[in-house]
Amino acid sequence: MRPDGTSTENGFLDASNESLASTSRKTAPNGQAATNGSSHTNGSKGPSQSSTYYGHNREEVTRILIQSLYELGYNESASLLSSESGYELETSGVATFRSAVLGGKWPEAERILIQSFRNAGSQQVDRKSPQEETLVLAEEADRNEMLFYLRQQKFLELLEARDLPAALNVLRQELTPLNFDVERLHALSSLLMCPTEVLHAQPGWGDSVSSSRERLLGELSKSISPSVMIPQHRLAILLDRVKQTQIHNCVYHNTADTPSLYSDHMCDRNDFPLDVTVDLTQHEDEVWYCEFSHDGSKLVTAGKDHNVFIYNTADFSIIHRLTEHEDGVAFASWSPDDSKLITCSQDKKARVWSVESGRCLLTINHHRQPVTAAAWAADGESFVTASLDAESQLRHWSMRGQSLYTWKGGFRVQDCAISADGRRLVAADTEAKVHVYNMITYEEDYCLPLPSKPTSVAISKDSRHMLINLAEGEIQLVDMETTTVVRQFKGQKQGEFVIRSTFGGAAENFVVSGSEDSKVYIWHKENGSIVETLNGHISGCVNSISWNPADPGMFASAGDDHAVRIWSREGNWPRPVGSVQRSGIPSNGFTRTSALRTTSAF
C-alpha cells in the first residue's frame, strides 16, 4: 500500500581460543607435573598411541571430556579418566583461584591475580614449581579490569549484608584507585542508599551470592588462557555450535525442535509451506495488511475497501467484519493476549476493538493525517500510534484514551514497533531514518540514517534485531544494540509501493516479503540466500505477509488482487469451497487506482 495517506552463560570465550597454544598438564606417578612425552600413569597410553584424536589435539579433547563429566555429575568417571589419561583438568593455581572466587576469599584471589601479572611481565611461567599458584593469562588480559570485577563483587556483597562502612571503604580505597570504568563506579556509589532488591537488578547479580560468584568467575575466565582454565561448559558450547551450523546449512529448517546429535540434520522441502491451500476473497478492493494472532487461532485482514475481517484459522470462517472506518485500513495489531485489536486507517483514526464481541472500545481521533501503524506495550495496557501527522507523529495512549506522552521531532512516521521485552520503540521516519526510543524514559537512544525511505519495520522475538524494508528494493537486518547491518536481502521488486516484510519460520529462521511483481520472496536469515520465490497473486503488489506463530507450516499473504492467500504444507489442507473460494478476477490485472500508496509522496 502507498505510504502517504492520500489513498547462556555459554560462550565465555570464542572458538578462536582453540587456536591458543595448549599448555600440557600431565600427572606423573609421583604426583608431579610432567610435560608431553613424559612417563604416564598405569601405562594407559602406550608409545603407539597417536597424539591426536581424528585430527584433534588429544589433550584438549580429553580435558574437555573431563570437564563435561564433572558438569554432568559423573565425578568418579571424571577422576578415572584423568588418572588413566594422565591429564589434569586444571593447574593447582587455577583450582586455588577458582576456590578463592567461589568462596569469597578476596585477598587470596587478588594475590594470585597480581602475582600472575607479575610473572607475565617478567616472562615467567606459572609452572616453574608445582607449588606456585599462578595463572596463565590471555594476551588481552587487563589487570585493573580483573581487579575491578573482583572488588565490585566484594562491594556488592558488603552492601547486601548492609555493612555500609566496609562497602564505602572498598569503594574509596580499592575501586576508585583503579581508575577503571568511571561511569560504572558512579553507578556503584549510587547504590549505597538503595534497598537490597535494587542490588539484585545489577548486571551479573543473580538470585544468590553463589550464582553471582559463578558469573564473576565466568567473566574473569575470559582473561585467563583456555590452556589452563577451560571456559565453562565447553563441550556444550561446541555441540551447540555444531547444531547451529547444521541449522544454518539446512535450507528449509522450519522447526523449533533441536537437531539430534546422532545424525546429520536436513529438513524436507515437502514440509515447507509452498502451496496455496485457502483463498480468502471477502475484500472488494486491494488488501493492504494481514496478521495472525499470537496464539495462531485468528487472522486479521484489512484493506482499501474500509473493511477489517477477523477469521478463525481452524476453518477460516469469518468471526467478525469491522466496518466503522470511513477510509482504507492500512494496519492492524493484536494485543499481547489477543483480546483486543487496534486498526489504523487513512480516515485519520485508530480504533481499539474487543476481539470477543467485535465492539469498538476506543477511538483515537487526535491525528490530523492518516494513522499508519500502532504497537502495543508489553503489558497490553497501553499502546503507541504512528501517523503522517508531523505535529503528532508518535503518541503513547492508555486504554482509557488518555495521552501518556507525545514524542517531539516534526517528522512523519510510516511504521512503528515495540520490542517484545518492552524496552524499545522503533519508528520508521519517511525521511530515510529510523528512530529508536527507550520506552521507559521516552528518550531517543539513537537515530539511524538509511540509504532510502523505509516502508516497514519489524523486531525479532528476542528483541535483538530489527528488519527494515527499504523503498529501493532492499531489506536490512540490523543489530539493535550496535546498529550494525548484519545482513541484506535483495531480489524482490520494490520502489513505488509500501510493502511490509517480516520474520518467518518456527525460530524466525527466514525473512519473507511481498513484491511488486506479485510474488512472495523467502530468504534464509543466516546466509541471505533466496530459499523460494512463489507466484503469490494474480496481479499487482503483494503488500503484506504474516507467518503463523503457532503453526510454522502456515503463512498468509495479502495482495492488490483483492485476495488473501493461505500457504501451507503440501497436502496439509483440502482446497476449500464456498465463501473462501477464489472469486473471478481478470488475469490481466488491475488498474492502479490507489494514488495513496506511492512512496514518491513521502
pLDDT, mean over the chain = 85
Helical spans, DSSP H, in 4-57: none
Question: How many CB atoms sit inside 10 A of residue 194's CB?
Answer: 12
For 423-478, the pLDDT digits (tens) are 999 999 999 999 999 999 999 999 999 999 999 999 999 999 999 999 999 999 99
* Inter-residue contact 566 to 276 (CB < 8 Å): yes
* Inter-residue contact 136 to 94 (CB < 8 Å): no
Give 352's strand partners: 342, 362
With a cut of 50, say whether residue 399 has pLDDT above it. Answer: yes
Model confidence at 122, in pLDDT bands (50, 70, 90)? Answer: low
How long is the chain? Answer: 602
Confidence at residue 47, expressed as pLDDT on a 0 to 100 scale: 42
* Separation of alpha carbons 221 and 522, rounded Å: 41
14 by DSSP, 3-state: which? coil
Longest dimension (CA), the chain: 90
* Inter-residue contact 565 to 273 (CB < 8 Å): no
Q: What sign does the CA torsion over 327, 495, 430, 336 have? A: positive
Closest CA to 560 of 372, 327, 304, 347: 304
What would the grid cell of residue 440 be?
521507559
Residues 6+ apart with CB under 8 A from 462: 420
With a cut of 80, say whether residue 526 has pLDDT above it. Answer: yes
What would the grid cell of residue 225 be?
588462557
What would the grid cell of residue 293 be?
494472532
Confidence at residue 281, expressed as pLDDT on a 0 to 100 scale: 96
Helices 58-72 + 75-85 axis angle, to 10:
160
Residues 6+ apart with CB under 8 A from 27: 33, 34, 41, 82, 83, 86, 87, 88
Confidence at residue 541, expressed as pLDDT on a 0 to 100 scale: 96
With a cut of 50, say whether residue 35 has pLDDT above it. Answer: no
What is the pLDDT averaged over residues 384-405? 95
Model confidence at 50, in pLDDT bands (50, 70, 90)? Answer: confident
For 334-392, the pLDDT digits (tens) are 999 999 999 999 999 999 999 999 999 999 999 999 999 999 999 999 999 999 999 99
Give strand ranges (E) for 26-174: 26-27, 33-34, 52-53, 56-57
* Inter-residue contact 97 to 104 (CB < 8 Å): no
Q: Terminal CA-to-CA distance of the chain, rounded, Å? A: 13
466 burial class (0-12, 13-18, 19+ CB within 10 angstroms)? buried
* Inter-residue contact 509 to 254 (CB < 8 Å): yes
* Inter-residue contact 431 to 423 (CB < 8 Å): no
What does pTM read for this prediction? 0.75
Quote the percentage of the chain above a pLDDT of 70: 83
* Separation of alpha carbons 189 and 208, rounded Å: 21
Strands 474-479 and 485-490, bridge-based pairing: antiparallel
What would the grid cell of residue 250 be?
539446512
Model confidence at 578, in pLDDT bands (50, 70, 90)? Answer: very low
* CATH node for 269-513+521-568: 2.130.10.10
Confidence at residue 48, expressed as pLDDT on a 0 to 100 scale: 52
Residues 6+ apart with CB under 8 A from 495: 471, 472, 473, 516, 599
For 489-509, the pLDDT digits (tens) are 999 998 878 999 999 999 999
Model confidence at 409, in pLDDT bands (50, 70, 90)? Answer: confident
